Amino acid sequence: MARRAHAYPQIVFTAAELVDGEVLAAPSGITAADALRLARRRRVRVLACGSTHHVLAEDLARAESLGLGDWPARELARPLPIVAARTPELAVRRRLSEGAPVVIVSGKGSVARAAAPRALPVRARLETALPPATRALLAEVARVAAGQGARAFIAGGLVRDAWRGAIGTGGDLDVVVEGDGPAVARALADALEGTLVEHERFLTASVRAPGQGRIDIATARTERYDAPGALPRVLPAPIGQDLQRRDFSVNAMAVEVTSDAWELLDPFAGIVDLRRRRLRILHPLSFVEDPTRLLRAARYAARLELKADVWTARCQALALRLAPYPALSGQRVATDLERLLEEPRCAVALAHLARGGVPRLLDPRWRLTRDTSARLAAVPATLAWGAAHRQDRPMARPVIVAALALAGDQPAAVAEAMAGRLGLSGEPLTELRRALADAPALARRVVTATPSAAGRALRSASGAELASWHLMGGRARERVEWWMARGRAVEPVLGGADVIALGVARGPAVAEALAALRDARLDGLVVDRAAEMDYVRAWHSSQERQA
């Protein structure tokens, strides 16, 4: 006779049994500095500043180190998941694996994410996605690093794009080394017979070798920012801390290439965010520490078709309240802006930038207008048009084109301040300022003027002024495109000797006669050699009567 199966009791752990920390209640209006002292005194990681604002002690410490201890602590709140005490363990673990640093258990305390996230072997997947040349280069990096007694990881964009299956050939390679990064870089440069540039302050080096892109090698490090927008001080650290210092979860992934398994480290659930098309920063003061991340957010949102989550957008607005950043150099802003302009979907990136108010980094008074939106949408066309004519005459740099689009419709004082914050100097800065101040009024005259009058203005215009008119669209763009394509090539058939033979005295009068003849050609008053000769005779007679 068959025996009835014995029923064993099922043991299911709940959230309450996973609690490993206290959630300490604090006054709603407590400052970051006072909240940090309270957290340290009570040795807690999480404070509740009111019923809906949960703040981590590590974020309070960042605020104090940046000189923001007087801020309300609740400004640093994170959207931490809150679960009931009887929630099954699996549900809590799932929320932690999706990027939450802590899960709040109602009435009980908190559950923190494990310090060492589980590594996932991904060699087969990545080898399928990576081009053969990249795989060969990674093998050489691994060999050289192992020879130096170091662990080497590929990090950031390459890991992200390889996971997405969207990686192409070529491009730069980011390598992070647990050990002496510059020493590995020197050995790799020797092995590849390449050149080396070291950046001692940041513990990084760049290798360039024949047939390869740039290979950036950095010592795994942690960063400390002494002021909002300042360059950080760096110290060597394990790879886990290196990933914590990065900008977005989708870039905080790494794969160890000195390991046979090629294990993926993804402590902030970047893969989950890629799947959900979500752009998420790692802590609430990320944009305050490095405001250029605001430009990178727009770039990644456009390139990867990601959308910032509500918390990231709120932290972006928080960071812009501190603008302008005295410690943030204009060159850094200009560099990231030019990188954004190199994106295939730079118009989308510029729209993200403008809607998020990021131009307020250059001047807090900047406002998005309808005309500014239209100019930003025109930037790719203007850049392409300028590139097509670059061989013919000097054209505006891409960053100047972007500045004209961002500031061209702003009040004069705002436009002037924005121009001065981009780190430009000399003639480029002079041209930008002149284009912002004078191009709109001059464009109105050019649009309504005769072709010859328009030609005189366009002939002497700078590359910045031409770009400004092109960005305006409509008749202004038509006129400048006509000029570069056809108008500036219009010249009379007659030369100096012909004009002299018709009675014009040698000297300045010859140039004046030829200029008048060219204008007549532009206005359609003369169309052939005979008509030009008649025109010169009439012009000469008129000049003699006036004399």
State yes or no: pLDDT of 91 exceeds 90.
yes
Categorize the per-residue pLDDT at 294 as very low, low, confident or very high, splitting at 50, 70 and 90: very high
For the sheet with 173-178, list strands across it.
Answer: 120-121, 263-265, 254-256, 151-155, 173-178, 214-219, 204-208, 195-199
Q: How far apart are the first and last CA of the chain?
A: 134
pLDDT surpasses 80 at 483: yes
So where are the chain's domains?
15-112, 120-275, 362-489, 496-546
- Separation of alpha carbons 457 and 92, rounded Å: 69
Cα 282 from Cα 285, distance rounded (Å)? 9
Who's near 240: CB < 8 A, 6+ residues apart? 115, 116, 117, 265, 267
Name the strand (E) or helix (H) holding 99: none
Q: Which residue has the tokens 């066309």?
A: 381
Q: What is the pLDDT of residue 547?
A: 64
pLDDT at 59 over 80: yes
- Of 437, 433, 415, nearest to 365 by C-alpha is 415
Calpha distance 339→296 (Å, rounded): 9
Between strands 307-308 and 278-279, the pairing is parallel
Strands 46-49 and 23-26: parallel
Q: What is the largest CA-CA distance in the chain?
A: 134
pLDDT at 13 > cutoff 90: no
Q: What is the pLDDT of residues 176-230, one digit of tens each?
A: 999 999 999 999 999 999 999 999 888 999 999 888 889 999 999 999 999 999 9
Taking 70 as the threshold, does the pLDDT of residue 477 lie above it? yes
d(CA 57, CA 76): 10
Task: State whether residue 472 is helix, strand or coil.
Answer: helix
Query: Alpha-carbon torsion 337, 341, 342, 348, what sign?
Result: positive
Indicate if the pLDDT at residue 67 is higher than 70. Answer: yes
- Give the pLDDT mean for 468-497: 94
* pLDDT tens-place string over residues 353-368: 999 999 999 999 999 9
pLDDT at position 156 is 85
Per-residue pLDDT for 5 more than 70? no
Write down the CATH superfamily of domain 120-275: Beta Polymerase, domain 2 (3.30.460.10)
Beta bridge partners of 196: 207
Contact status, residue 83 vs residue 74, Cβ threshold 8 Å: no
In angstroms, the CA 368 to CA 513 distance is: 49
pTM of the shown model: 0.90
What whole-number distance in Å separates Cα of residue 103 and Cα of residue 82?
Answer: 6
214-219/173-178 β-pairing = parallel
User: CA-to-CA distance for 205 and 181, rounded, in angstroms?
Assistant: 7
| Domain 15-112 and domain 120-275 have a common topology | no
pLDDT for the residue numbered 270? 95
DSSP string, 119-182: PEE-HHHHHHHS-HHHHHHHHHHHHHHHHTT-EEEEETHHHHHHHHT---SS--EEEEEES-HH
Please report, rounded to a whole number, the percentage of residues in the chain having pLDDT higher than 90.
83
* Cβ neighbourhood burial of 392 (10 Å; 0-12, 13-18, 19+): exposed
What's the confidence (pLDDT) of residue 330?
A: 94
Band of pLDDT at residue 500, cut at 50, 70 and 90:
very high
Beta strand extents in 200-351 (DSSP E only) = 204-208, 214-219, 221-224, 233-236, 254-256, 263-265, 278-279, 307-308
Report CA 56 to chain centroid distance, whole Å: 28
The contacts of residue 216 (CB under 8 Å, 6+ apart) are: 172, 173, 174, 175, 204, 205, 206
The CATH code that applies to domain 15-112 is 3.10.580.10
- Tens-place pLDDT, residues 320-355: 999 999 999 999 999 999 999 999 999 999 999 999
At residue 75, the pLDDT reads 96
Out of 382-386, 439-443, 490-494, least confident range = 439-443
Q: What is the pLDDT of residue 261?
A: 87
- Per-residue pLDDT of 23-42, as tens digits, reads 999 999 999 999 999 999 99
Extended beta strands in 296-411, E state: 307-308
At 261, list the tokens.
């398994």
pLDDT at 168 over 90: no
pLDDT band at residue 171 using 50, 70 and 90 as cut-offs: low
pLDDT tens-digit series, residues 102-140? 999 999 999 998 876 677 888 888 888 888 988 999 999
Radius of gyration in angstroms for the set of CA atoms belonging to the chain, rounded to a whole number: 31
**Residue 245 phi, psi (nearest 5):** -85, 0
Arithmetic mean of pLDDT, 41-55: 93
Distances (CA, A) of 526 to 177, 349, 487, 523: 72, 48, 15, 8
Mean pLDDT of 139-166: 92
More confident residue, 60 or 1: 60
